[in-house]
Each structure stands twice: as C-alpha cells, then as structure tokens.
Amino acid sequence: MVFPGKGKTYQGIENGKYMNKLDDFIRDNAAAFDTELPPEGAEDRFLRKWEAGRLRVRIFRTVLPAAAAAALAAVLLLPPAGRSTDWLRGAGDTPEGIYLAYMEQVSAAWEKAGPDDILSAQLSSVTEEAIPLLDLLPDELGDAEKSAILREHYNTLLDGVHNLLTNAK
C-alpha cells in the first residue's frame, strides 16, 4: 500500500506490522496532519455523537435495571415447580366452558383486590386480553385440542393472579 506524500510502501495486515507502520507514517508526516483545521460544523457533529453515546449509556443504565426488575417480578409470579393448581377444575371440556370459568376466576380476583390501584394495574396486565385466546385459535383444531390449549394457558395466568393476590397481603 502506498501512502501519498512520502511514497513509502507499507505492507498490509498480513505481516502484523500495519499499526506500527501507520504510527511511523503519522509521526513522519506530523506537519501535514496539523496544517488544516477541521471542516466547518465538525465540532457540532462530534458533540452530537458524544451526546448520543452518553444517551445510550443512560438508556443502558435505566433500561437494564427495569428489565431486571420485570424479570424478577415474573419469577415471583411463576408458581413453584410441580405445584401448579388446576384453577379451572370443573369447567368442563368445551373451550367456551373453560373460558367462562377463567372469567369467573378473574372476576373473583378483582373482587378480592378491592380498590388497590397498584394491585389492580398488575391484575389488569396479567388478565386483560385485547382478543381472547379462544377467538385466536384456528377452526381447524378440534374442541379437545382447543380445550387443552386454553386450560394450560389460563391455568398459567391464574397461577400468576393467585400469586399476586397472595403476595399483596
């Protein structure tokens, strides 16, 4: 590789001496590097990049602890291994029956929560669905398959709901 100015040929990275040669070139041509001022607006551009880097650090320092807190909350809401309760026992085997039993459990949980705003917000985040899972399951699935999926999903949510109610008191 030939650098302009000196006409010296520097070998590339293959010999492992590229950075040493680059340092030598800069040292040999220091006067050429010091003659020009940075282009107009360069200082503003550098400052913007500096602030963006600082913003990334601030985001990292705030988002990471928030994510860790959310993960800890999720772990606290999960039931201990092997102790899952069938909250939908007696709901029948139809998808509609399972969904109705789930809604009854949710209503009872809301009544137990009372006017506590924090607990209400937590219950809301666990139980509210924009579109119920019952409506999202494909028609190609039979009632037995739908019931199994709904039972597993809603039992998991109800484990979290009951853990919330237990830990809130």
DSSP string, 23-42: HHHHHHTHHHHSSSPPPTTH
Residues 88, 151: contact at Cβ < 8 Å?
yes
Please tell me whether residues 96 and 144 are part of one structural domain: yes
Please tell me whether residues 89 and 130 are part of one structural domain: yes
- Domain count for the chain: 3
3-state secondary structure of 134: helix
Helices within the chain (DSSP H only) = 18-28, 30-33, 42-77, 95-113, 117-127, 133-136, 143-168
pTM for the complete prediction?
0.49
pLDDT of residue 57: 67
Q: Is the pLDDT of residue 18 over 60?
A: yes
pLDDT of residue 2: 46
Please tell me whether residues 97 and 152 are part of one structural domain: yes
Please tell me whether residues 101 and 64 are part of one structural domain: no
Please tell me whether residues 104 and 158 are part of one structural domain: yes
Please tell me whether residues 72 and 87 are part of one structural domain: no
114-169 per-position pLDDT tens digit = 777 777 777 788 778 788 888 888 889 888 898 888 888 888 888 888 888 887 65
Range of 23's domain?
1-36
Burial class (CB in 10 A: 0-12, 13-18, 19+), 160: buried
Please tell me whether residues 163 and 87 are part of one structural domain: yes
Q: Is the pLDDT of residue 100 over 60?
A: yes
Angle at alpha carbon of residue 127, lines to 100 and 129, rounded to 5°: 80
Please tell me whether residues 115 and 48 are part of one structural domain: no
3-state secondary structure of 4: coil
pLDDT of residue 75: 64
Please tell me whether residues 91 and 160 are part of one structural domain: yes
pLDDT of residue 1: 44
